Structure 1
């Protein structure tokens, strides 16, 4: 918002300068030169303010992107850990089932092996 008011200020000074030149044809060249120099300083200040504003926004966006990346990394680590624990639980359940019924497990494994052999011949 401060940059807008500086732009309005520069525009007002330029308008004032034009009004002064039109109102008084006896204005000296040094007065006009001084007003133009003031206008140049105001434009330089406006340019600097805009650059500072842009740099601030760029830094803010960079910080937000860094935070977002960290959040995504944390969530993905949580999902990986959840998948690992689920697989470990499934492995323990399968091992417990095999230990409780070893003959049935051998028969199922032999049947799956037979089907795989038949399908690979084709």
Structure 2
């Protein structure tokens, strides 16, 4: 072999080994990226799961507060209706003729509205 051929063969081997090293480095970087993506995906799923649990807990707390509020409103309305019933009964006993006239007037208006 000549000196030129030996130099050429040496350069080709150097290029080939450099190319192989670059390919191996690229493969290692891709593997590292895959691991990082898997770690990020795992972390996101954990965060999303925690968010769902927190939202459910808040929803449960809101539902309980809403139920408590509605129970209080129902109790208040029941109490007010009982008071109105007592007042109406007292008014009818004190003024029976007026109560009869009011009842007749309401019946008359209801009959007219129902005919339409």
**Normalising by structure 2, what TM-score?**
0.65
After TM superposition, the structure 1 = structure 2 runs for residues 54-93 of structure 1, keeping only pairs within 5 Å, are 54-93=44-83
Larger Rg: 2
Runs of 4+ in 1 over 3 A off after TM superposition: 24-27, 98-102, 104-110
Provide structure 2 residue ranges, at least 5 long, that are not aligned to the other structure.
Answer: 1-13
Structure number with greater CO (CA < 8 Å, separation at least 6) is 1
RMSD, matched Cα: 2.8
Structure 1's unaligned 5+ residue stretches are 1-23
In 2, Cα distance between equivalents of 1:109 and 1:61: 64
Residues 50-94 of structure 1 deviation map (CA, whole Å, 9 limit, x = unaligned): 201210221122112201210221121012111121122113312
Name 2:3's counterpart in structure 1. Answer: none
1:96, distance to aligned residue in structure 2 (A): 2.9
